[in-house]
Structure 1
Amino acid sequence: MNLKEMLKLADGIVFAKTGEHLDDLQAAILRGTLQRETYKHIAKDFDCSESSVRQVGSQLWQILSEELGEDVSKTNFRSAMERLQVSNVSNFAQNVSEQHISGSFNICGEGRHPPDISNSDNDETSHSKPTKTLHQDLSEMPELGNFFSRTLELQTLTTWILQQNCRLITLTGISGIGKTSLAVQLVQQIKNEFEYAVWCTLDEFPTIDKFKSNLTQLFSQSEKQDSSPTNQKPLPLIKYLQNHRCLIVLDDVHNLFSSGELAGKYKPNYEEYRSLFKQIEKLSHQSCFLLVGWEPPKEVPQLTSENTPIRTLKLTGLDTAAAAEILRDKGLAEIDNCEALIHRYQGNPLWLKSVATLIQELGISATEVLIDDTILLPEDLKDVLQQQYDRTSELEKQVMSLLAAENQPVNFGKLLQNGQISSSDLLNALQSLSRRCSIEKEASLYTLSPVLKQYIKGL
């Protein structure tokens, strides 16, 4: 949510409570709160006393607290508005889903029928349909911990899954960007929209057979619990996905692929996952697979059409306000040059936590850190970068070295001129690095993030 959207949402809440829209001072208090201005600064702009601003602010927080059912204050106004926005989206998606659910529980466009309203006056008849039993195996799902604003991304994923009924979604991004945290938050919000919600970590399923057998065992055992026990053999996995509304998250999907190769090349014992993902995409069913990792399968395009049931969301850094919460959480509430530090580390939550810990432990200031474009690389951050660097091919390493030597973004022609790489190999390497989120592209220019550039220069 941007500032304008938050003010509009707050104005609606105040109007519903008081019958009056926000006045200029109230709007200025909310705007100043979002921009981290003090009451003293707001009072100066309005040529009034700070105590007057505090009094109006106190009344405003009281109205919002009563309407939202939680204590709202200057310190948590942004997060309260974002929670409300996510809740509104989730409730809307739930209503849309409920309007489309038929007796067959199919919302994929096949077998849909309007609900039977011939006996709508009879409460007993209208509520006689049994509700589906929910089965959730989220034992492998990490605990969320502190979650920093990803309102737009949550809205996008929720829309894709609950409204557009996408069958296969990849959530990618460089290490530490917050992919798993976002997926956990998403699952917590929408899991009850599905008969089955399952979180799988790839390390637990070294082969496709074990992965399938674990899922089919869960489905078959649940079906026996929901009905009379039978000796019927478990069905193929795709049949369960067709018979039930399932949400299945596969975390660390990059572990399917070989290190030292271009992105998306399957390990020898993992080739059959390719067929599974194709089956999930092509065959009609009412379930969704969410793949989370550093790189997506080759068969999932990075640019997708709304006419297809697959989507890709490439996660980027947090905005300045959300990233600043990380620094405050690390005890750097009054840090100078906050925005410059966040920009240098590109709003990457893990990178910011690492450098914030170093700053705090050494007792240095952000001003000292930012002198002469210095990029601090704590040892724990180096370890993370090393893991991702080790996955790349020799060809990709050559291209990253070329980009690290450049002070400005460069185009394909200059890279081709400066290196001993054929045009075909260079194109493949750039595509692979893009899929790994290891390079940045703007128009026809390529570059590395300052952090990666500093790391590669130090090798």
Structure 2
Amino acid sequence: MNLKELLKVADKIVFAQTGQHLDDLEEAVLRGTLQHETYKQIAKDFDCSESNVRNTGSKLWQIFSEELGEDISKSNFRSAMERLQNSILFNFAQNVSGSLNICGESRHPPDIPDPISLQENLSNFKSFETPHQDLSEMPDLGGFYGRIYELETLKTWIIKEQCRLIAITGISGIGKTALGVQLVQQIKDEFEFVIWCNFDPSRTLAEFQTNLISFFSQSQQRDLSVSVPKALTLIKYLQQYRCLVVLDNIHNLFRSGDLAGKYQPQYEDYQTFFKQIKELSHQSCLLLMGWEQPRIVTEVKSKNSVIHSLQLTGLNLKAAQEILNDYGLTKIDKIETIVKRYQGNPLWLKSIANVLEELGESATKVLLNDPLFLPEEVKESLSQQCDRLSELEKQVMSLLVAENHPVSLVKLLENSKIISADLLNALQSLFRRSLIEKQENYYIILPIIKQYIASLNDL
């Protein structure tokens, strides 16, 4: 059924329950829902408050739930309506279509079954989809700080633009998983299926796909009178249903000791899988998070692409202050200096907050006089990421550590024996790993990374 037909059937269901046709706002809510719009977008398009739209939607879902004997919500409304074409209710709607005045001039359609008899006829109808969520692997991280812009950007890409493949990347501790958790909590009801997977280094693509297919197929509740089809391929599920699949720690797919984004031999078939997600038409979204991302993501720069990448940077001063406040450090001196030193990285700030909480805020003065204090937790997180670097990247990092100011590509070439092609590839890889920054035509290593590497050289 097309949009017009879906709305027509929905109007008949509401009329059968309430004796009233859909008003303009109700139709706008249903139309926006069928087009995968958020309540906020519907409210903007209709020029009314979001709360009014939510209240109207809530009343409509209650009407459909009571009339059909199923839990109907914003996320599963479209799939439920589409399945009506083979149901008793759809046949009823077609039979009475000639006697109902769709334009709303008549409020008394003849011979419409009462809700009780309609409910009895639908008592065995089980083909409606309800939202299915497997978030057992999604961590509970507690407080969430800042990232309002990043959240809105991701929601726009996923809900409004319906992007198929999105990567969240950034240095260790920057808050990729925390952002992903917050995002899923806010948009999960927009999907029929939601699953969070932490990438297991022992999990092959075949095992990953089998687990997803098992989740999709076992979650379905179908009418016993309708034959159950054989298990679909994964892409068929993503095409037939609106699914959100989150894959965390994606960097485990890639080789250690090589440039960023190069697959380990046993995971090279993931490259074909990601290409399939990008190129084949479907209504689902695969969200990837990790220190590195597939090159198919980094190669796409078009604003209108179905693929997007979000590289996280540090928190702003206000969000960083909230972290310290949560540790009881409300009157800490030179907060701006501390946040700048540790680049607004949530993990690094929490590590510093732990030190100050245990040793007292008087330790702040000592901490600020230190060239750059590195708590053990910070060293461990940096070690995990820096140990993955290729020998070529390590050479370039050493060159950057030796510089006290941002350095140009020309000077890097002059100061090293690395050929230009290798140097460019190494710089690109380090930038993708969020270990260096580019300021116009100059490159700089992050201070805390510089201190960490310098400490290794002193061993």
- How does the TM-score come out when normalised to structure 2? 0.73
SS of the residue corresponding to residue 301 of structure 2 reads: coil
SS of the residue corresponding to residue 274 of structure 2 reads: helix
How far did 1:101 drift?
A: 10
Residue deviations 1:268-311, cap 9 Å, x none?
11111111100000000000000011111011126521221000
How far did 1:419 drift?
A: 1.4
- From 21, 39, 42, the counterpart of 1:91: 39
Write the letter of the residue equivalent to 1:362: L
Residue deviations 1:214-263, cap 9 Å, x none?
0011111122x233385643111000000000011000000100111100
Write the letter of the residue equivalent to 2:382: L
Residue deviations 1:135-171, cap 9 Å, x none?
1011100013011111111000000000001000000
Residue deviations 1:392-432, cap 9 Å, x none?
10110111111111111111111111112110100000111
Q: Where does residue 208 of structure 1 map in the other structure?
A: 205
Q: Percent identity?
A: 53
How far did 1:90 drift?
A: 5.6
Q: Where does residue 185 of structure 1 map in the other structure?
A: 182
Matching of residues 112-261 of structure 1 within 5 Å: 119=102, 121=104, 132-203=129-200, 206-223=203-220, 225-228=221-224, 232-261=229-258
2:131 and 2:79 map into 1 onto residues whose CA distance is 16
Equivalent residues of 1:335, 1:365 under 8 A apart: no
- From 277, 280, 284, the counterpart of 1:283: 280
Equivalent residues of 1:133, 1:226 under 8 A apart: no
Q: Where does residue 351 of structure 1 map in the other structure?
A: 348
Equivalent residues of 1:93, 1:158 under 8 A apart: no
Write the letter of the residue equivalent to 1:369: L
- From 425, 430, 433, the counterpart of 1:428: 425
2:42 and 2:152 map into 1 onto residues whose CA distance is 13
1:195 and 1:100 map into 2 onto residues whose CA distance is 6
Equivalent residues of 1:320, 1:342 under 8 A apart: yes
Q: Where does residue 294 of structure 1 map in the other structure?
A: 291
Q: Where does residue 31 of structure 1 map in the other structure?
A: none
Matching of residues 258-407 of structure 1 within 5 Å: 258-301=255-298, 304-363=301-360, 364-371=362-369, 374-407=371-404
Residue deviations 1:366-407, cap 9 Å, x none?
2332226x2111111111110000011011011111111111
Do the aligned partners of residues 143 and 102 (structure 1) sit closer, same or farther apart at CA in structure 2, a change above 3 Å counting? closer
1:309 and 1:100 map into 2 onto residues whose CA distance is 21
1:407 and 1:276 map into 2 onto residues whose CA distance is 44
Write the letter of the residue equivalent to 2:222: D
Moved more, 225-234 or 375-384: 225-234
Equivalent residues of 2:241, 2:284 under 8 A apart: yes
SS of the residue corresponding to residue 306 of structure 1 reads: coil
SS of the residue corresponding to residue 421 of structure 2 reads: helix
SS of the residue corresponding to residue 295 of structure 2 reads: coil
2:41 and 2:172 map into 1 onto residues whose CA distance is 30
Q: Where does residue 84 of structure 1 map in the other structure?
A: none
Equivalent residues of 1:94, 1:193 under 8 A apart: no
Write the letter of the residue equivalent to 2:363: S
SS of the residue corresponding to residue 403 of structure 1 reads: helix
SS of the residue corresponding to residue 297 of structure 2 reads: coil
Moved more, 276-285 or 203-212: 203-212
Equivalent residues of 1:174, 1:294 under 8 A apart: yes
1:402 and 1:105 map into 2 onto residues whose CA distance is 60
Question: 5+ residue gaps in structure 2?
Answer: 1-36, 46-52, 58-73, 82-96
1:248 and 1:344 map into 2 onto residues whose CA distance is 36
- How does the TM-score come out when normalised to structure 1? 0.73
2:395 and 2:407 map into 1 onto residues whose CA distance is 15
Do the aligned partners of residues 356 and 191 (structure 1) sit closer, same or farther apart at CA in structure 2, a change above 3 Å counting? same
1:334 and 1:104 map into 2 onto residues whose CA distance is 54
Write the letter of the residue equivalent to 1:241: L
User: Are 2:438 and 1:455 aligned?
Assistant: no
Do the aligned partners of residues 326 and 252 (structure 1) sit closer, same or farther apart at CA in structure 2, a change above 3 Å counting? same
Equivalent residues of 1:175, 1:294 under 8 A apart: yes
SS of the residue corresponding to residue 430 of structure 1 reads: helix
Larger radius of gyration: 2
Do the aligned partners of residues 434 and 120 (structure 1) sit closer, same or farther apart at CA in structure 2, a change above 3 Å counting? farther
1:309 and 1:231 map into 2 onto residues whose CA distance is 32
Matching of residues 47-86 of structure 1 within 5 Å: none
Q: Where does residue 42 of structure 1 map in the other structure?
A: none
Question: 5+ residue gaps in structure 1?
Answer: 1-88, 107-115
Moved more, 93-102 or 400-409: 93-102
Provide the alpha-carbon RMSD of the alignment: 3.0
SS of the residue corresponding to residue 458 of structure 1 reads: helix
SS of the residue corresponding to residue 289 of structure 1 reads: strand
- From 430, 435, 445, the counterpart of 2:442: 445
How far did 1:119 drift?
A: 3.3
